[in-house]
């Protein structure tokens, strides 16, 4: 029912959004910082990578620059919050809106095509794999490397301090942790990951477009929450694996919805389905706990 | 000997059966569209109607699959993979982002794009005359020169032309750049006002008062969605408003020399039919819209302080009556 190409396409997009989910895990779960900057830093990563590739840079270095650009955007949001005391959600909305203009400035126009340029994917096509398998192989490696680096970071002293900041900022300060610095670092890392995702997406899609960030936060959240519903995030490594699993499952669900003519589903319905799924994923674990609580109370 | 004859006979029967099966199997055309709005929906309708006229009847010898990405780039990408995986006979990609995503995913399947203003700039084709690979289509590039001719005819003493546009829309930016260049070549200037959302169109139009002698709107989706705001400014400040698309004339613009996106879709459908009949897309030059109609609105002209001459009214294909 699902063709090979559609299946690999779903996994490919899922892997890219797995990086977004890593970023949202860092800001939303670890730091408890609802961050809408990602709707701007995703196209920012795409724009920076695209322009540098067009300027003749090595695509990997261009992708690295996209990560740095995303980190800078995240740092701006965090500084607005930490230094100017602007509510975190509002701070991220301000940066997101500003990034729309910044992205237009970077690209000089709303859409920059990469269809004929050399990208990080180009050399991999010579390996003899099927055309649609190449991005999956490369992105699996990128996601694995990011996962391991993130995991090790979270276990480091700085990572532990960051987790403490998110869990209880007052207690963390009492322990001598500079919580403001932790928020800046965490939100910057988060948006660096999203910038990386944007850069890879533009290279696999053949274009950077200023509108491609629309809804990234919702899809990232859907991936994160969906993944947590499947794999209980009891440890950091499980939480990170859940991010990737959730992103891929979400993409597979869309691929099936696109193929589910027999259910009467159309792509027009996807936004509604996403909203319903996210709501269910948020509500269901709570329902389960309250039912469990009731049962135990009755027993007692 | 008898064995050999038998084998030949079986082989021939099988071949004939295969040929028959191929004849009976409906041709598949997949249509992907970045977002749903009236102009792009009209393109889709035009494609279907033209295919029907060319002898491809849905449900008999033609199957059409249609998906919209609702403005979401990741869904557009998954639609592209779905189509490539199903291997249709031809793919129609409506608007620039859908066409680029399709071009990145499809290697051997013919792709016919529609409603793309600058196919070369979008790197869909190498040149308009010889696309080269598996992609060709119809561009909705406006006949800017003829539009300026019309402006000069209707408001001969205008020195500065104003326009409202969304700097985030690829098609609109390409058109505004071209407009500026062509106006300058004739010694005229362009006053630009940017609006990134429909709610900003009114303010942007107001900023043109005192600067522009006439306002001309391209086929910018954001601005056309809020065309009434520009019209109201034009009426109050007595600045005639012209449009590139004919639909805006009935919404209060003075005149437009434009095409219908339905006709655009018909032309696209015609290219699809030729591909289904065996033509090679790489050898089919990119086409531009060939039917232009002049729509005028005398009541709107009066409200904006100009009078349409009799010869303009005679040239018009349609005289819109709007009394408000």
Q: How far apart are the first and last CA of chain B?
A: 89
For A113, name the nearest residue in chain B, comparing CA atoms only: B122
Asked if A111 lies within 8 A of B77 by C-beta distance, the reply is no
pLDDT: which is higher, A300 or B138: B138
| Contact A290/B at CB under 8 A | no
DSSP for B130-179, written as a single string: ---SSEEEEE----HHHHHHHHHHHSTT--EEEEEE-TT-HHHHHHHHHH
CA angle B264, B270, B275 (to 5 degrees): 130
B218 SS3 class = coil
What pLDDT, on a 0 to 100 scale, did the predictor assign at position A132? 87
Percent of chain B residues topping a pLDDT of 70: 92
Enumerate the residues of chain B whose CB falls inside 8 A of the CB of residue A104.
167-168
Average of per-residue pLDDT across B8-25: 52
Grouped pLDDT means (10 residues each) for chain A, 300 residues = 87 96 95 95 98 96 98 98 96 96 93 91 87 93 97 96 94 93 97 98 93 90 89 93 95 82 66 76 68 64
- Cβ A132 vs Cβ A9: under 8 Å: yes
Q: How many Cα neighbours within 13 Å face the side chain of B14?
A: 6
For A214, name the nearest residue in chain B, comparing CA atoms only: B72
Neighbouring residues of A242: CB distance < 8 A, sequence distance ≥ 6: A224, A227, A228, A230, A231, A232, A233
The total number of residues written for chain A in this structure: 300
Neighbouring residues of A81: CB distance < 8 A, sequence distance ≥ 6: A33, A87, A88, A91, A183
Burial class (CB in 10 A: 0-12, 13-18, 19+), B78: buried
Asked if A206 lies within 8 A of B77 by C-beta distance, the reply is no
Q: Which structure tokens are listed for B212?
A: 């522009």
Enumerate the residues of chain A whose CB falls inside 8 A of the CB of residue B96.
111
| Contact A9/B at CB under 8 A | yes
Distance from CA of A265 to the nearest CA of B (A): 11
Q: How many Cα neighbours within 13 Å face the side chain of B249?
A: 24
Rounded Cα–Cα distance for residues A230 and A242 (Å): 7
Distance from CA of B13 to the nearest CA of A (A): 31
Q: Closest Cα to residue A121, out of A242, A1, A221, A203?
A: A203
What pLDDT, on a 0 to 100 scale, did the predictor assign at position A261? 66
pLDDT confidence of B260, banded at 50, 70, 90? confident
**What is the value of pTM for the model shown?**
0.84
ipTM: 0.82
Q: Closest Cα to residue B102, out of B118, B121, B120, B124?
A: B124
What pLDDT, on a 0 to 100 scale, did the predictor assign at position B20? 45
What pLDDT, on a 0 to 100 scale, did the predictor assign at position B1? 45
The sign one gets for the Cα dihedral B145, B150, B156, B159 is: negative
DSSP state of B121: T
Per-residue model confidence as pLDDT tens digits over A219-235: 899 899 889 888 988 99
How much is the mean pLDDT over chain A? 90
The sign one gets for the Cα dihedral B94, B99, B102, B106 is: positive
Distances (CA, A) of B234 to A68, A167, B188, B224, B294: 46, 57, 20, 15, 20
How many helices (H) and strands (E) in chain B? 12, 13
Rounded Cα–Cα distance for residues B210 and B195 (Å): 18
Q: Closest Cα to residue B289, out of B267, B311, B315?
A: B267
Q: For chain A, how big is the Rg over CA atoms in Å?
A: 20
| Contact B111/A at CB under 8 A | no
Asked if B86 lies within 8 A of A3 by C-beta distance, the reply is yes
Mutation pick from B78, B83, B124 vs chain A, by most beta carbons of A within 10 Å, is B78
Per-residue model confidence as pLDDT tens digits over B269-309: 999 999 999 999 999 999 998 788 999 999 999 999 999 98
Mutation pick from A3, A200, A205 vs chain B, by most beta carbons of B within 10 Å, is A205
Asked if A209 lies within 8 A of B97 by C-beta distance, the reply is yes
For B82, name the nearest residue in chain A, comparing CA atoms only: A6
- Cβ B85 vs Cβ A258: under 8 Å: no
If residue A264 lies in a helix (H) or strand (E), which one and from where to where?
Answer: none
- Judged against a pLDDT cut of 50, whether residue B174 lies above it is answered with yes
| Contact B102/A at CB under 8 A | no
């Amino acid at each position: 029912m699902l063709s090979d190409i559609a299946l690999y396409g779903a996994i490919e997009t899922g892997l890219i959004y797995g990086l977004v989910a890593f970023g949202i895990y860092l800001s939303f779960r670890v730091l408890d910082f609802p961050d809408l900057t990602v709707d701007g830093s995703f196209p920012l990563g795409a724009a920076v990578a695209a322009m540098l590739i067009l300027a003749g840079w090595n695509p990997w270095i261009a992708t690295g620059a996209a990560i740095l650009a995303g980190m800078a955007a995240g740092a701006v949001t965090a500084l607005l919050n930490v230094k100017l005391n602007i509510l975190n959600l509002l701070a991220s909305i301000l940066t997101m809106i500003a990034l729309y203009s910044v992205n237009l400035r970077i690209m000089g126009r709303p859409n920059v095509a990469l269809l004929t340029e050399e990208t990080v994917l180009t050399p991999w096509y010579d390996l003899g794999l099927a055309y649609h398998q190449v991005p999956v192989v490369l992105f699996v490696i990128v996601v694995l490397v990011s996962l391991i680096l993130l995991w090790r970071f979270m276990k480091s002293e700085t990572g532990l301090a960051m987790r403490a900041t998110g869990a209880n900022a007052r207690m963390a300060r009492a322990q001598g942790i500079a919580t403001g610095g932790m928020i800046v670092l965490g939100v910057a890392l988060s948006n660096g990951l999203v910038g990386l995702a944007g850069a890879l997406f533009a290279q696999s899609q053949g274009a950077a477009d200023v509108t491609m960030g629309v809804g990234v936060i919702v899809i990232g959240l859907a991936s994160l929450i969906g993944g947590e519903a499947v794999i209980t995030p009891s440890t950091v490594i499980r939480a990170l694996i859940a991010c990737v699993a959730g992103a891929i499952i979400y993409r597979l669900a869309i691929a099936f919805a696109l193929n589910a003519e027999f259910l009467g589903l159309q792509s027009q319905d996807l936004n509604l389905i996403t909203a319903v799924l996210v709501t269910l994923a948020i509500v269901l674990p709570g329902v389960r706990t309250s039912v469990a609580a009731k049962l135990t109370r009755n027993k007692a | 000997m008898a064995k050999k004859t038998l084998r030949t006979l079986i082989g021939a029967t099988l071949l004939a059966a295969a040929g028959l099966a191929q004849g009976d199997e409906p041709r598949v055309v997949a249509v992907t569209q970045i977002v749903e709005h009236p102009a792009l929906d009209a393109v889709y309708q035009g494609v279907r109607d033209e295919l029907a006229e060319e002898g491809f009847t849905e449900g008999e010898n033609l199957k059409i699959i249609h998906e919209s990405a609702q403005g979401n780039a990741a869904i557009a990408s998954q639609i592209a993979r779905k189509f490539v995986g199903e291997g249709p006979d031809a793919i129609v990609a409506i608007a620039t982002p859908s066409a680029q995503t399709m071009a990145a995913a499809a290697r051997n399947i013919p792709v016919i794009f529609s409603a793309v203003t600058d196919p070369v700039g979008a790197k869909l084709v190498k040149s308009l005359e010889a696309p080269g690979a598996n992609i060709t289509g119809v561009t909705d590039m406006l006949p800017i020169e003829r539009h300026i001719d019309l402006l000069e005819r209707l408001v001969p003493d205008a020195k500065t032309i104003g326009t409202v546009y969304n700097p985030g829309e690829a098609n609109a930016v390409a058109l505004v750049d071209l407009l500026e260049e062509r106006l300058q070549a004739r010694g005229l200037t362009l006053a630009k006002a940017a609006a990134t959302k429909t709610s900003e169109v009114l303010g942007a139009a107001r900023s043109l008062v005192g600067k522009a002698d006439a306002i001309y709107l391209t086929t910018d989706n954001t601005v056309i969605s809020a065309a009434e705001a520009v019209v109201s400014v034009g009426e109050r400040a007595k600045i005639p408003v012209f449009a590139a698309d004919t639909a805006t004339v009935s919404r209060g613009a003075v005149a437009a020399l434009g095409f219908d996106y339905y006709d655009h879709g018909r032309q696209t459908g015609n290219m699809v039919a030729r591909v289904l009949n065996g033509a090679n897309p790489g050898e089919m030059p990119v086409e531009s819209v060939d039917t232009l109609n002049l729509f005028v609105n005398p009541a709107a002209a009066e409200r904006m302080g100009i009078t349409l001459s009799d010869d303009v009214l005679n040239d018009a294909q349609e005289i819109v009556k709007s009394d408000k």
